[in-house]
Structure 1
Amino acid sequence: MQRINRISYLEWLIGHKDKQLIKVVSGVRRCGKSTLFDIYRDYLRQEGIEESQIISLNFEDIEYEDLCDYRPLYDFIKMKLLPDKMNYIFLDEVQHVKEFEKAVNTLFLSENCDVYMTGSNAYFMSGELATRLSGRYTELKMLPLSFAEFYSGLSEERQGLTKTEKFNLYLELSSFPYILRYNYGPKEAKEYLRDIYNTVLLKDIVARLRVSDVNTLENVTKFILHNIGNRVSPTKIAGTLKSQGKSVDQKTVDRYLRGLTDSLIVYEAVRYNIKGKQFLTQQNKYYAVDVTLRNILVRGKDSDIGHILENVVYLELLRRGHEVYAGQLDDGSEVDFVAINSQGMCYYQVSATTLDEETLKRELASLRKIADNYPKYLLTLDEVFGNADYEGIQKKNVIDWLLGR
């Protein structure tokens, strides 16, 4: 069994060590948050932090069931605090603790408490909670393994595969760390992913939203996963399901979409008008947190590869610290992604191949209509003519791009 070091995430934790901010790590279930804390605690020990200075609680462990209320939690931690040293407090899956923010807020006020916590959904740090802790926390949004992490963490017997074979394996097995850690094959991976899906659906959506019609929720979920990269709206989803004899209203669909995105199993890419630099409020695009999870739940087809690549690129741009939007021009033509960070923005088109001249012309057309001088990229699986320059538009092999080459 091997443990994959998530270097960029670890560096984030190290960079925030001892700063008077609550460190929040959010991410879909089983994306590696608890293991990241394990790795970070090892780092602390190597830096001379004593075991007595570290307090670790995982609220998915029945051992801590009696602490799932803010008052007993605070009293328990207070008893363990060392008054003359810095205390490193780890609260894993803290959303299970009722009004946990009261305990966390009080710990924050102590100069010798460095607080870290994780949660498996977006709403545990939203609304009133975010208001109560406003200005007192910083958040790391964690995703499952990037292809580069997957590539470097493969077992010895798989290291001899070509980069393309490794990428195909990434799409076949999934990006969830547990699968790589235990060297799963396709069958075990499929069972594990179904377990994740059922857990997220039942614990993070059905229970929270009090969903009585689970079948309708599953129908909406499968519609979204089947249509990754396509523009959709609650009205369109409701209409399509009704035409299939599955009655559901627009408000219910909208509620379920919020549940899916809050559970972090699905991400929403808001449309962005490039010329007007404004956000469009309707017909956004959705992407799965893991394309293999998506592929075992919906029947794929050969034409899916373009959207699967698009999904992989979308997640990678998020990992690299971008805000990512679906681009649109005034004439209705689209650019797959507008990626924005503190340095500016970049534009990306994603296509399985552009070796056909007409396909290349079509993929370049939207990028060429953009009048500004920000970088523009075309990412494909092409190995022959995989890298090229079309009047400033850089074509790159997507596998090399994912590996940072």
Structure 2
Amino acid sequence: MFTRSLQLDQSIKYSDKSWIKVITGVRRSGKSILLRQVKDSLRRSGVSMDQLHVVRFNQLHRQLLIDWPSLAASIEKKLAAKKENYLFLDELDQVDAVVPLLQDLLSRGNVNLFVTAATRSLIGRLSPLRAQLVVIPVLPLGFSEFCRYQGHPADHQALYRYLNTGGFPFAQGVHDAHSLGNYLDEVFNTILVGGFTKHGTLCNPFLTRQLAIFLATQLGEAVNASKAVSGLRTAGVSVSNKTLATYLTFLQDTFLFYPCYELDLARNRTKPTNVKYYPVDPSLRNYLTNQKGALSQANLEALIFIELVRRGYLVHSSKRFTFIADRGQQRSYIQFRYSLRSQHDYDQVLAATLPASAHKQLIVMQAGDMVVTAPDLPLIRLTDWLVTPQVNPVDHVAHGLVEDDVGPALGGEDKLL
């Protein structure tokens, strides 16, 4: 029951019934626990038990899910009359007719909706209600949360442990590698089973796993269609570009992997090919590759990318910078180097010049002894960056966010939010 303070504060901040709170994220990341914590907070504020209602759609009979009017009627029977009712709809992406169901419930005027979803595509399906949506992303625990949960100081040893334990909440109580592997196997298979149930065109779990393994082995490397097809053929899987795109979309839709597209700074446009893919949690990379997580450039780069996503940034790669991160009106140019052992290494970083007014950060794992920091490029140790609260943090819930698609899949055009 670790408290996700930021997400809980956001859920409470937008608890007015005029908003539909949609809590999204990979399975087992803590969405249902967050709902329980929201309920507890409402109880402490004076809301009575008869005003709180939880519907877990993964536990309902499939026929009832198809017949949404019957489902709406069964929910409405439980609502308290002449009171505001707080409805917690867990795993709503199990339902086909989500819009008419929510519209029916909202038409009563005394319903306040909290929703969880384990797929990105649900947001697109909710487009008719976009003006009322607040999307609150939940990812596995970040390094800072991991340290607080485990009581570790934020040092290199804790970072190594985090790379190998990961941030899935339940995994924090697992104390041996075999049990952790079994748990991650269960997480991965649960995602496959749930996803294949909703995606009627998917029928090959072996292909899905091999594609996930391939992406995990290419951490930090740009991937295009021909490279992916070639890599899968090496693993004994023959696949067309079209089929590959469908399964890659599935891995993104279920939040297992996040794409990072290259940004052409001259035109301020994303490039549709050569995309980097990062797993939502470092433990998944270890599980898929059957390797321990080392404190390497690629693994730590993946950690920074997911941390930027967790903080609400839209993140791109660049030929000149490790990442370019946008949030609201702020753009940050981020360079990451494992170490800077000489002035020459530092001068290479400085070669990517920008106007003095640009927000730039140089993040390093090991600073070295010969570095002279330029005034407009602060040098930050990675462990400090991962745990330091942001200056003037913005509320990064997304209002009216609708994704028409989960993004391009090896050759499609990017759809920016």
**TM-based fold match above 0.5:** yes
Residue type at the aligned position of 1:374? A
Aligned residues: 388
Question: CA-to-partner distance for each residue in 1:238-296, whole Å, 9 max, x for gaps?
Answer: 13333565322211111111111111100011211123212211112111001111112
Which amino acid is 2:310 matched to? R
Q: Do 1:386 and 1:395's aligned partners in 2 also have CA atoms closer than 8 Å?
A: no
State the match for 2:398 in structure 1.
none
Q: How does 1:9-158 map to 2 (within 5 A)?
A: 9-61=7-59, 67-69=64-66, 70-126=68-124, 129-154=125-150
* Offset of residue 170 of structure 1: 1.0
Aligned to 2:170: 178
CA contact (8 A) 1:267 1:288 kept: yes
For residue 330 of structure 1, what is the aligned residue in structure 2? none
Q: Please give the root-mean-square deviation of Cα atoms over the aligned residues, in Å.
A: 2.4
Does residue 377 (structure 1) correspond to residue 366 (structure 2)? The answer is: no
1:290 aligns to 2:281 (yes or no)? yes
Residues 134-283 of structure 1 correspond to what in structure 2 (within 5 A)?
134-154=130-150, 159=151, 163-180=155-172, 182-205=173-196, 208-242=199-233, 246-283=237-274
Provide the rounded CA distance (Å) in 1 between the counterparts of 2:259 and 2:343: 32
The answer to whether the 8 Å contact 1:306/1:351 transfers is yes
Q: Match of 1:281, SS?
A: coil
Partner residue of 2:328? 342
Matched-pair contact (CA < 8 Å) for 1:32–1:177 = yes
Q: CA deviation at 1:388?
A: 6.5
1:66/1:72 contact within 8 Å kept: no
Task: Give TM-score, length-normalised by structure 1.
Answer: 0.88
Question: Match of 1:18, SS?
Answer: coil
Residue 387 of structure 2 corresponds to residue 393 of structure 1: no
Counterpart CA distance in 2 for 1:256 and 1:357 is: 45
> Residues 304 and 245 (structure 1 numbering): CA distance in 2 closer, same or farther, change over 3 Å?
farther
User: What is the identity percentage for the equivalent residue pairs of Structure 1 and Structure 2?
Assistant: 26
Query: Do the aligned partners of residues 18 and 213 (structure 1) sit closer, same or farther apart at CA in structure 2, a change above 3 Å counting?
Result: closer
- 3-state SS of 2:338 partner: coil
Q: Matched residues in 2 for 1:78 and 1:68: separation?
A: 15
Q: CA deviation at 1:372?
A: 6.1
Q: Tell me which amino acid in the other structure corresponds to 1:199.
A: T
CA shift, 1:385, in A, is: 5.5
Note the residue ranges of structure 2 that are not aligned, 5 or more in a row: 390-417
For 1:41 and 1:382, the matched residues in 2 are separated by 44
Distance (whole Å) between structure 2 residues aligned to residue 111 and residue 172 of structure 1: 48
Question: TM-score, structure 2 length as denominator?
Answer: 0.86
Shift of 1:59: 1.9
- State the alpha-carbon separation in 2 of the partners of residues 40 and 388 from structure 1: 48
1:94 CA displacement: 1.2
Q: Alignment partner of 2:275: what SS?
A: strand
Q: What is the distance in 2 between the residues matched to 1:190 and 1:243? A: 25
Q: In structure 1, give the amino acid aligned to 2:346.
A: L
- AA in 1 matched with 2:47: I
Q: Give the aligned residue type for 2:337.
A: S
Distance 1:243 1:29, change over 3 A: closer
Separation (CA, whole Å) in 1 of partners of 2:107 and 2:162:
44
Unaligned runs of 5+ in 1: 328-332
CA distance 1:213–1:125, shift in 2 (3 Å): same
Aligned partners of 1:25 and 1:142 also within 8 Å: yes
